[in-house]
Amino acid sequence: MNCKKCESPGTVVLRQKDHYCENCFTTGINHKFRAIIGKNRAIPPNEQVLVCLSGGTSSTVLLDMVFNGISMSNHKKLRITPCFVHLIDSVHDKNADKTANIVINQCKQYDFQVYVIHLSEYVQAHTNLPEANSVPANKNEEEFQAMLRSMPVTVRNDYFMKIRSNLLVRVAEQLQCNYIFTAETTATLAINLLSNLTMGRGAQVQDDVSFYDGRNDSIKILRPMKDISKEELDYYIKIKNLHPADQSTFQQNSLQSVIGSFVTELQDSFPATISTICKTADKIGTYNNNQSNEKCVLCKSILRTKSTKLTALEATNFSRVVSLQSPSNADFKKMEHQANYSNEKSMFPYVNDRLCYGCSRNYSEIDDSTLPRFIHDAIQSIT
């Protein structure tokens, strides 16, 4: 079969039917990448963008496409000034230090500098950037691991994503970048979407899985790889002879890992699975019934304001308080007050006050003394 575009022999076969030659394929993917950014008009020209590199397949392709984009000389040029960061994930990646060095070498090949930061930096209120292209000492690992160990695995995975984006925003602030590129693919986003729903984060789906995460007032997270399929990434890596890090991950049993295998196994038999999930996600808007600017301390989502109507959450909370009282001293008014304001008896501590529903549920399952001091203080601070 010949290439759909130029009639040369078509060696790249997408979706089992579309044939392309290698040249038209790579040009097409690069065009698709710039089009996603251009179409959304998300970035004003010549902005500094923090590009987050994990070293994996999608990240390796992203790095190559950013280089191609900014190297173009015509009107198609990607008008951004990229900065690069790699967050060392020694929790999930068995070869974390090796991966960091692979990312440093990948960047060197394009003459880019990359800042390498341990995820454990999260436990400090401030992060000082290390020298570029070097792996810094990991000073906070013990405290970081103790915090993660205190959480059930499902909560830990959920919280981990918040840690990652909080740290990225922190690095972006330091490098004066108003935009961040992350390399999540549709497969990851589909799994995140379903995990979010099960964790009670329905209201945050749009920020967590769409192209644009606008949660932070000044720094926006964009996901320009979201429309590029695994099939396309694999062809791209092979044709351009790129070398992603081999990230062998630790096995764990959690809600997210179960959803992960469910989605990928379904995808094997029904190739439209992931794209259907993601298209559904794009249709979900954010229901914002308030003008509140109060943000969740942990995930930075906008908190719901208390309404006059009794919500399911408040009803559950109230039932719990009532069931904990002995019948003899039942005082309705007092119980109502406890349900709404006492965080010890609440099933949803600090909900809609300091924490969103999802984070409040997580908080109720963790040992809060292991949380970083600055988080602890922010949750318990008195208004």
CB of 106 to Zn ion, least distance (A): 28
Of 5 and 79, which has the nearer Cβ to Zn ion? 5
> Cα torsion for 177, 178, 184, 188, to the nearest 10°?
130
CB of 269 to Zn ion, least distance (A): 31
The token pair at 139 is 């000073």
Nearer to Zn ion, 93 or 314 (CB): 314
- Which residues contact Zn ion by CB under 5 A? 3, 5-6, 8, 21, 24, 296, 298-299, 356, 359
CB of 297 vs Zn ion, minimal distance in Å:
7
H or E segment and range at residue 209: helix 205-209
**In the complex, minimum distance from the CB of residue 19 to Zn ion, in angstroms, rounded to a whole number:** 9
- The four Cα atoms 323, 329, 331, 336 give a dihedral, to 10 degrees, of -30
Q: Which is nearer to Zn ion, 8 or 174 (CB)?
A: 8
The Cα–Cα gap between 151 and 350 comes to: 18
- In the chain the first and final C-alpha atoms are separated, in Å, by 69
Nearer residue to Zn ion within complex by CB, 29 or 299? 299
The minimum distance between CB 155 and Zn ion, in angstroms, equals 12
Residue 360 Cβ, how far from Zn ion at the closest point, in Å? Answer: 8
Of the candidates 286, 184, 196, which has an alpha carbon nearest to the alpha carbon of residue 227?
Answer: 184
CB nearer Zn ion, residue 117 or residue 299: 299
CB of 241 closer than 8 Å to CB of 168:
no
Handedness of CA 295, 206, 154, 342 (dihedral sign): positive
CB 10 within 8 A of CB 21: yes
Q: Strands 18-20 and 12-14: what pairing?
A: antiparallel
User: Would you say 116 or 303 has its CB closer to Zn ion?
Assistant: 303
Spatial separation of the C-alpha atoms in residues 51 and 74, rounded to whole Å: 23
